């Protein structure tokens, strides 16, 4: 859920969550990678934002990368129509760093527009200097998990 913290040791803050279909480029063709909730998750201490998506039926992670302000990565562009957005990222799915080209298809143009807005805000958040929290602050934030 957007605006809520997820379970886990870092209590990541969800800044975007919407059901969508993810494609990736393989051998010059777009192939479906999965259907599920595309999420933008922010680390509470560093401010770093990650794009994470799990396959709805299997819960397998199909995309996991930092949202960064560094060309050519994370430069959103329309892909075919106003419900699809494409970008390239250094994906960490399966703990293996790999350049991936993604296209995300949403239910409508308003959702795609909201994703683009939040994704671009996330690049700015991720490029800021990390918060300087002490050990007590970090322990308190970790204890605040839902």
Tell me the mean pLDDT in the region 12-23: 96
**Rounded distance, CA 65 to CA 63, Å?**
7
Reported as a single tens digit per residue, the pLDDT across 39-78 is 999 998 888 999 999 999 999 999 999 999 999 999 999 9
HEC sequence for 27-87: CCEEEEEEEEEEEEEECCCCCCEEEEEECCCCCCEEEEEECCCECCECCCEEECEEEEEEE
Cβ atoms of 127 and 68 within 8 Å: the answer is: yes
Q: What is the pLDDT of residue 68?
A: 95
Q: Which two tokens stand for residue 118?
A: 């939040």
Q: What is the pLDDT of residue 125?
A: 81
Cβ atoms of 18 and 38 within 8 Å: the answer is: yes
- Among residues 42, 34, 44, 43, which one has the least CA distance to residue 17? 42
Reported as a single tens digit per residue, the pLDDT across 83-110 is 999 999 999 998 889 999 999 999 999 9
Q: What is the pLDDT of residue 10?
A: 56
């Amino acid at each position: 859920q957007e605006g809520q913290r997820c379970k886990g040791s870092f209590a990541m803050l969800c800044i975007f969550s919407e059901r969508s279909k993810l494609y990736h480029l393989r051998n010059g063709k777009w192939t479906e990678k999965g259907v599920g909730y595309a999420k933008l998750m922010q680390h509470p201490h560093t401010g770093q934002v990650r794009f994470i998506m799990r396959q709805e039926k299997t819960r397998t992670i199909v995309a996991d990368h930092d949202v960064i302000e560094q060309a050519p990565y994370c430069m959103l562009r329309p892909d075919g129509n106003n419900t699809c957005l494409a970008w390239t990222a250094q994906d960490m799915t399966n703990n293996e760093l790999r350049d991936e080209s993604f296209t995300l298809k949403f239910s409508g143009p308003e959702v795609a527009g909201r994703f683009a807005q939040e994704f671009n805000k996330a690049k700015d958040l991720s490029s800021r200097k990390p918060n300087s929290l002490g050990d007590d602050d970090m322990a308190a934030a970790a204890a605040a998990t839902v």
